Amino acid sequence: MEKAEYMEKAAQHIVDADEEAVEKLAREYLIEGFDPIEMIEKGLSEGIRKLGVLFDRGEIFLPHLIIASEAMTTAVKILEQAMPADQVGKKLAKVVIGTIEGDVHDIGKGIVATMLRVYGFEVFDLGRDVPIATFVEKAKEIGADVVGSSALMTTTMVGQKALEKALKDAGLRDNLITMLGGAATTEHWAAKIGANFWAESAGDTVMKLKEIFS
Amino acid sequence: MNSKERVMAVINHQKPDRMPCFGANCMVTYEQMEAAQAFWPKGHEDGETMARLALASHTVLGFDAVRVPFCQTFEARALGIKIKPGKLPGNMEGIPGIDHPPLYKLDDTPVFPDDFLSRGFIPELLKAVRILKKELGDEVPVIAGIIGPFTLAGSLIDTVPLLKATFKAPDKIRPWLEIGEKAGTALAKALIDAGADIICCEDMTASPELIAPKTYKELELEFQTKQFDAISVPTILHICGKVDPIVEWMAQTGPNILSLDTKTKPHIVREKCGPDVVLLGGVDVATTLFLHGPDEVKREAEEAIADGIQILAPGCAVGPGTPTENLLAMLQVAKGH
Ligand code: B12
Ligand SMILES: [Zn+2]
């Protein structure tokens, strides 16, 4: 198969959320000896970008997007194994992300984490129901460039404010970017508590972070 | 008219003396807890405290209905699901939720316990309804909440696996919807026996923000219809988010009232659903009610009424930190219509 055909097929399998097919394709592609990074950037990413557009237009729905982004993660892992070590290690920025303590909603946060990985960020996903102190400890431990928090409830939004303060108190705040999201939050809220930015969706998050780190 | 007459008038398509105002979801706030001297977590678990706290929406706010429970875990707990207490940062009390990992996997067979109605805190919930009914008689309607089949299915096998199954193996979801419907309906009947005047079914996971509209039509529609058919008192259906793509089918399941999130515009619902279903909603809980002030609340409420809302309400569960004055501003608007 021509390289271009691989790219088209990779994109299409992602659009179809066909995990088995994309996995098989990635393996064949590596056997051919082509550049793994190119498949991520021109094939898989193109597929997920198309899906994002379809999702925003209301033509596909969340289950489709979840399965497609998992398929993408699987394929990226396979391709990464074939990358030179310095390429794998070359990440745009280190991101700590999690859902605020008391909040178990993690679907949206999970999609954000997956997409950031896909776009070349090193992501430390702390999961859901994460105590403020854990965000701070992790950020310190790994020297995070970005700390992102998700809150889906009016009760847990206040934790994002507490996180801003905790990062300040730990002396970390000036050296990193904070971002937040989740259904309960708004741009207004992010501005009010002094976060660097709010993102409406995973796509929006990638766009805003890429503007800062590239 | 008293509150119950007012609410029943709207449900029966007669003219009320003024527009009713109450929420279909939890209306409890920290300020009401103080006023009623009834607090969480006890208010989630003890019938008497629950009833006292629920009363506050009428005695403190002056709203036209009271509502129990305040969380969405009663059926799930009785089905054996592990529940996480509602602890929040800063030692605040919140709303209990479903814990991880889930009890079942998609391929398992769900079990419906024979003693379902005496498990978990269901007996306390029924007790709360009996107390409220005794207290309020035919003055103020008592709303009791159940959880919709789809959301309960998500509590049993976890939401993400459920969502994935809607795409990969939709038929495997049926047994989970069946048990979800059975649990909610059994609870509804017991709540009615205890004195509930209205049953509100919350089905947040059935939102098009989570599942494809096709999934709602091909799976949930059947189970929700079966549930409402089995309920003898007036009903409310609440699904979060922008429900435009499914709202026509939501109305077909047979509720008397649709409770709308502010992302869903009343005039669109009216267009799609015809004249029969009553529209409840109006003011956004996460922004307007929680973060802004009475003026914004009033403006948004007026707009919603002009757009076709018939019962003024918060668009979803009220955040417990919401100021009382914002809720009072809603009532003030309702009184002008
Ligand atoms: C699915 C769901 C659940 C599932 C969660 C499963 C899971 N693993 O996540 C279950 C059923 C378990 C659940 C439980 C509860 N829920 Co719930 N749930 C929802 C629902 C229907 C959808 C949320 C969702 O996943 N949306 C889809 C995703 C993709 O969107 P998203 O999260 O907004 O994420 C996007 C963006 O916001 C952004 N983003 C998200 N995170 C981040 C982070 C960063 C850093 C950035 C930059 C961007 C970003 O990008 C994402 C992708 O595009 C909402 C209603 C709604 N329509 O929002 C209610 C809702 C959030 N839940 C609510 C409630 C009350 C509860 C419960 C308390 C109910 C109960 N008693 O059981 C419990 C919570 C328990 C707890 N302590 O947390 C309320 C909150 C009310 C409020 N305003 O405070 C809502 C609004 C609905 C309601 N009233 O019932 N819920
Ligand atoms: Zn809602």
Domain boundaries, chain A: 3-87, 94-213
CB contact at 8 A, A150 and A129: no
Measure the CA–CA gap between A58 and B217, rounded to whole angstroms.
Answer: 16
User: Going by C-beta distance under 8 Å and a sequence separation of 6 or more, which residues neighbour residue B170?
Assistant: B215, B218, B219
CATH number of A94-213: 3.40.50.280
Nearest atom in ligand 1 to the alpha carbon of residue B241 is: 57
pLDDT (0 to 100) of residue A86 = 62
pLDDT (0 to 100) of residue A202 = 83
Task: Identify the CATH class of A3-87.
Answer: mainly alpha
CB contact at 8 A, A34 and A40: no
Higher pLDDT: A37 or A63? It is: A63
Which whole number is the average pLDDT over B266-292?
A: 96
Q: Which residues form the pocket of ligand 1, taking CB atoms under 6 Å from any ligand atom?
A: A 62, 97, 102-109, 111-112, 148-150, 152-155, 179-184, 199, 201-202, 205; B 25, 71-73, 84, 95-98, 151, 154, 159-160, 204-205, 207, 209-210, 240-241, 285-286, 316-317, 319
CB contact under 8 A, A63 and B97: no
Higher pLDDT: B316 or A90? It is: B316
Above 70 in pLDDT, residue A88? no
Closest to B304 in 3D by CA, of B256, B252, B276, B269: B269
Of A3-7, B95-99, B203-207, minimum mean pLDDT range: B95-99
Which whole number is the average pLDDT over B319-335?
A: 97
State yes or no: cis peptide before B69, omega within 30 of 0: yes
pLDDT (0 to 100) of residue A167 = 97
Structural domains of chain B, ranges and CATH numbers in brackets: 19-335 (3.20.20.210)
Strands B311-314, A146-150: pairing kind: unpaired
pLDDT (0 to 100) of residue A94 = 96
How many beta carbons lie within 10 A of that of residue B82, not counting itself? 12
pLDDT (0 to 100) of residue A73 = 83
Distances in Å between the Cα of A157 and the Cα atoms of A151, A163, B126 are: 5, 10, 32
Per-residue pLDDT reduced to its tens digit, B84-141: 888 877 778 888 988 888 999 999 999 999 999 999 999 999 999 999 999 999 999 9
Q: What confidence category does residue A85 fall into, taking pLDDT thresholds of 50, 70 and 90?
A: low
Distances in Å between the Cα of B161 and the Cα atoms of A67, B34, B135, B171, B173 are: 10, 40, 43, 14, 10
Which whole number is the average pLDDT over B163-191?
A: 97
Above 90 in pLDDT, residue A117? no
pLDDT (0 to 100) of residue A180 = 97
The pTM of the full predicted model, rounded to 2 decimals, is 0.85
Nearest CB to B210: which of A17, A62, A158?
A: A62
Closest to A109 in 3D by CA, of A77, A163, A66: A66
Per-residue pLDDT reduced to its tens digit, A134-156: 999 999 999 999 999 999 988 88
Measure the CA–CA gap between B179 and B173, rounded to whole angstroms.
Answer: 10
Complex confidence, ipTM: 0.88
Nearest CA in chain A to B163: A63
Measure the CA–CA gap between B288 and B297, rounded to whole angstroms.
Answer: 6
